[in-house]
Structure 1
Amino acid sequence: MTTRAMPDHAPISPSLWRATLSGLSGSLVGIGLARFSYTPLLPAIIAAGWFDPSAAAYLGAANLAGYLGGALLAAPLASRFRTAAVLNAMMLLATAAFFASAWPIDFAWFFVWRFASGLAGGVIMVLAATSILPHIAPARRGLVSGAIFMGVGLGIAASGTLVPLLLRQGLSETWIGLGMLSLVLTALAWGGWPKHAASGTAAHHPHAPRPSLRLRALYVEYGLNAAGLVAHLLFLVDYVARGRNEGLAAGAEYWVLFGIGAVLGPVISGQIADRIGFGATLRLAFVIQAIAVLVPAINPNEVALMLSSFVVGAFTPGIVPIVLGRVHELLPHAPAQQKAAWSRATTSFAVLQAAAAYGMSYLFAHDGGNYALLFILAAAATLLALVIDLAAGRSRR
């Protein structure tokens, strides 16, 4: 694969579309399936007596902890081994975790494999797109990054459709089925990753300059945005089913809308960013997302809640190509620095999302199940991200 700098409007070659397909497959396996398929599996795991509710919840948290570890480990791995080899290995690790989870030997066994699946996802999130986008012309990076992260949305959609179908065959069979799908996607991605680093700065920067104020602000904004998504990710279905007394079937329908939005969101946001720039798209995203997140707090009608579910679903993976593109805007022609910055941003996302998940769960358990408070806090986190971005934009350093 060529490593020459690409003209701004150069067409995307077949080999780069092949790399994009590998990126989509990687995000689908490492994030989409490895993280989001556990949510619909959780009731079945408890009902089958594999683990009690509290242990099952801790196993869900193991994936988040592994994801944080993967985000921190990605850069050191990429500095020692070829990025393509690391990505292939992580997809194999996530695949192995699916097969291993079909046999609940004990809590420690399951915890290790849930952690491993999260670690694989964290590494893939940091390395997949950053290995591909430097080869893409700047005017096409929004489209390509959106296509890569559409895999996350496909995983969310699969969590509400494919997993319930597999569960009809049994719980162990479901894990094996997910492993088989992951294995196919791994084989599809295997030979498509870029073989060489893109041209630009050297691969290693022992004396790289300190991040700019805007870049450091972006890390905080991305973390706050992650916190702003948690209310819908954790409580949307429960809010509809119990908070509005509409039942689990209705809650599942809103989750399907959430999943549809998640599939379309990355491509839509990426194409908008190609037209108006990633910085402007990021601020627009914060505004729209804050409004959509706040909707359930004001006891909306059915149409408003449907829009809220779809829009927040779209931004759950849709914010990723926007922030990654913004990193590239702030660090042009510096692939190694871009990768390091994206690792820091992913770490910030993982830390604040996990903190918000535990914090909101605590509040919900201790304030009588106040759904409105959770959505208000989530919207406030997103608005704070907007304020920080505007303030950093006006600062001159």
Structure 2
Amino acid sequence: MLDTHTPSHRAIWLPIFAGLCASLVSIGLARFAYTPLIPSLIQAHWFSASDVVYLGAANLVGYLVGALIGRPLAQRTSNKSTLRLMMVAVTVAFFACGFPLSLVWFFAWRLLSGIGGGAIMVLVAATVLPHVPAARRGLASGAIFLGIGLGIAGSGTLVPPLLSLGLQQTWFGLGLLALVLTAASWLAWPNDTLHETVVHAVTPVPTPAGVYLLFAQYAFMAAGLVPAMVFLVDYVARGLGDGAQVGAMVWVMYGLGSIVGPVTYGFLADKLGARSSIRLVLAVQAVAVGLLPFTHSFIALATLAVILGSFPPGIVPLALARVHELLPNHHQQQVAWSRATVSFATFQALSGFAYSVLFNGSGGNHALLFMLAAGAIVIALLLELGLLLNRRPLTTVPTHTLTLTGLTQ
């Protein structure tokens, strides 16, 4: 007999497509397309070099604000309405940035684009994944956050041709792309999950210690990914003296890794479990970052760049899968994921400023930054192994518990 409760293939992939569009617009493009625009912003005398760095920080600050207000805003309206609103806001911000009216004007729009990214990061998985069968949620979350990787890769391939048309035209081109993606995803969003009314009726369950551990791990992961994400090209071009062209080629490899990462890590979460996958990924990343200061050949650098590029977008579906392992119902998962995102955003912003200060104060010592990043990732790994050594009770939620709360299909 046909199971009428089983979602169709189309019903599963439409929400995933909407989620991918949202992550691509709000984080992939809004954050990462800014990096290759920095030299042009300075050369065109739109802003000074110090102002450009300040404006880059606006997006990170906005991301933290968005992570804090995303859920409260959705509770006043709905997840779907908030996600649509945030995508529209980011799209408008692209067009507004084409007019350098003042530093305050530009800062406000960059701040708004960051708010959109933070709010979408908090809400998108909670909106999409309840409509996906439990066995496919790791892969589905990887597909959703593939948009981040596409944005990183696109920052090195889409922006240079647009810049040949002019700086203002580049912002308009990015805005047009965001507009197309927003329109394409508009009707693909699912209705707000039907499980919310059921969840509130479930007896509250104490938050497992593993959730707080995950918050700490996620924060150290954020601190560990910043140096490679920000300084890798400069390390190759100036630190090793290989020039901007080789640096750009290494960044393309980093972008390739960022495309492969989310789906690969999501697949690992489905097959090995989130906890085992996090341990494996952290160990590999710690080695890769630690090897950077001792690597000089292009082949080795390109290989490390692919591994490192997989990390920023790839850990998102892993951390999300771990939240789903640890907590029994949808409402708890939403709250925990929001707090995890805030933890990540806070440490990413703070470490970004700290690494910049340390880089300037050390006379441009890339190796120091990479070793500190490796240390942060090792701490995240040791936190996980420490929990293992303590022999705490099993914190993974059994499948039958998930079924009772309406989370399995």
Instruction: Provide TM-score, normalisation by structure 2.
Output: 0.92
Cα offsets for 1:140-181 (capped at 9, x unmatched): 011100100000000001100100110000000000000000
The CA deviation at 1:199 is 2.5
2:21 match: 25
Asked whether the equivalents of residues 61 and 111 of structure 2 are also in contact (C-alpha less than 8 Å), the reply is yes
1:47 match: 43
1:331 match: 327
For residues 21-170 of structure 1, the aligned pairs below 5 Å read 21-170=17-166
Equivalent of 1:342, from 337, 344, 359? 337
Secondary structure of 1:365 counterpart: helix
Whether 1:312 and 2:308 are equivalent positions in the alignment is yes
List gaps (5 residues or longer) in structure 1: none
Asked whether the equivalents of residues 133 and 145 of structure 1 are also in contact (C-alpha less than 8 Å), the reply is yes
The percent identity for this pair of structures is 49
Distance in 2 between the 1:317 and 1:198 partners?
28
Asked whether the equivalents of residues 202 and 336 of structure 1 are also in contact (C-alpha less than 8 Å), the reply is no
Letter in 2 for 1:87: L
The CA deviation at 1:12 is 5.7
Whether 1:353 and 2:359 are equivalent positions in the alignment is no
Distance in 1 between the 2:174 and 2:48 partners?
23
Cα offsets for 1:226-256 (capped at 9, x unmatched): 1111111111000000110000111000000
Cα distance change on mapping 1:206 and 1:134 into 2, 3 Å = closer
The CA deviation at 1:390 is 1.6
Moved more, 290-299 or 175-184: 290-299
Letter in 2 for 1:362: V
1:235 match: 231
Moved more, 26-35 or 76-85: 76-85
Cα distance change on mapping 1:271 and 1:38 into 2, 3 Å = same
Letter in 2 for 1:245: G
Distance in 1 between the 2:170 and 2:97 partners?
10
Over the aligned positions, Cα root-mean-square deviation in angstroms equals 1.8
1:276 match: 272
Letter in 2 for 1:103: F
Asked whether the equivalents of residues 295 and 304 of structure 1 are also in contact (C-alpha less than 8 Å), the reply is no
Distance in 2 between the 1:309 and 1:370 partners?
19
List gaps (5 residues or longer) in structure 2: 394-409
Cα distance change on mapping 1:214 and 1:45 into 2, 3 Å = same
Cα offsets for 1:41-66 (capped at 9, x unmatched): 11100100011011111000000000
Cα offsets for 1:64-101 (capped at 9, x unmatched): 00000000001101211111000000000000000000
Aligned length: 390
Whether 1:194 and 2:194 are equivalent positions in the alignment is no
Cα distance change on mapping 1:287 and 1:11 into 2, 3 Å = farther
The CA deviation at 1:394 is 3.9
Asked whether the equivalents of residues 5 and 135 of structure 1 are also in contact (C-alpha less than 8 Å), the reply is no
Whether 1:363 and 2:322 are equivalent positions in the alignment is no
1:393 match: 388
Moved more, 158-167 or 362-371: 362-371
Letter in 2 for 1:382: I
Distance in 2 between the 1:168 and 1:14 partners?
39
Cα distance change on mapping 1:55 and 1:203 into 2, 3 Å = farther
Asked whether the equivalents of residues 63 and 119 of structure 1 are also in contact (C-alpha less than 8 Å), the reply is yes
Instruction: Provide TM-score, normalisation by structure 1.
Output: 0.95
Asked whether the equivalents of residues 207 and 327 of structure 2 are also in contact (C-alpha less than 8 Å), the reply is no
Cα offsets for 1:102-153 (capped at 9, x unmatched): 0010011000000000000001111011111122222101110010000000
Secondary structure of 2:30 counterpart: helix
